[in-house]
Amino acid sequence: MQHFELKGQIRQASGKAAIKAFRKQGLVPCNLYGLGMDNVLFTVSDRDLAGVINTPKSFIIDLVMDNGKKFEAILHELQFHPVKDNCLHVDFLAVDEKKPITIKVPVSISGHAKGSQLGGKFFQTARDVRVSALMANLPDELPIDITPLGLDEQIKAGDLKFENITIVTPKDAVICGVKSTRNSVAEAQPTEE
């Protein structure tokens, strides 16, 4: 999985007034926790953060603090402004390369479904899947070949199998499929002569 470096400034203040002041300066308040460590309060530039949150990709984030400490983390929770849609707060979860990491990984659809060629309509309901794996085994994306999909068939999270990766998304969650349409039903019925 790709890494993304983010520079953080340690913050001592955590009151409402201080947080408001950070946001006016273009800084986003953040919190880092996990692995039995004490919480680390810091801020990052909203411009730098945009490179992580405005993309469908998932990253292992290399946090480099202004006090010289470095941490590896993943995005855990994001809070956005309800109207302006700018990021208000981020929680990061510290990770270790020796322990499994649970993270969302984007799916990559390839092929042309048989059901679509018969007049069916392809649909995709999930853009990503939650997986658990060691950091070294985490992929940038999960490839899914839809070529064998016929009419009214679906690919569910339980159908996905990848080496050294455990799918955490519920097994019955639909990733994609092909629906019958009027055209496909008409083509399937023999014409009466």
Among 67, 72, 9, residue whose Cα is nearest residue 35: 72
pLDDT at res. 174: 96
Q: Assign domain 101-188 one CATH number from 3.90.1570.10, 3.30.70.260, 2.60.40.10, 2.170.120.20.
A: 2.170.120.20
Average of per-residue pLDDT across 13-24: 87
Q: What is the pLDDT of residues 25-47, one digit of tens each?
A: 999 999 999 988 899 999 999 99
pLDDT higher than 80, residue 127: yes
Backbone angles phi, psi at 65, to 5 degrees: -85, 155
What's residue 182's pLDDT? 79
49's enclosing H/E stretch is helix 46-53
**11 touches 43 (CB < 8 A):** yes
Whether residue 188 is predicted with pLDDT greater than 60 in this model: the reply is no
What are the residue boundaries of the structural domains of the chain, listed by start? 3-94, 101-188
What pLDDT, in 10s, does the model give residues 158-187?
Answer: 999 999 999 999 999 999 999 998 776 666
CA distance 137 to 127: 20
How many whole angstroms separate alpha carbon 130 and alpha carbon 109? 16
Mean pLDDT (the chain, rounded): 90
Return the pLDDT at 153: 94
Q: Tell me the whole-structure pTM to 2 decimals.
A: 0.80
Could you tell me the pLDDT band of residue 189, with boundaries at 50, 70 and 90?
low
Which residues are within 8 A (CB) of 142 and not within 5 positions of it... i.e. 6 or more apart? 105, 106, 107, 108, 129, 131, 160, 162
Q: What is the CATH number of domain 3-94?
A: 2.40.240.10
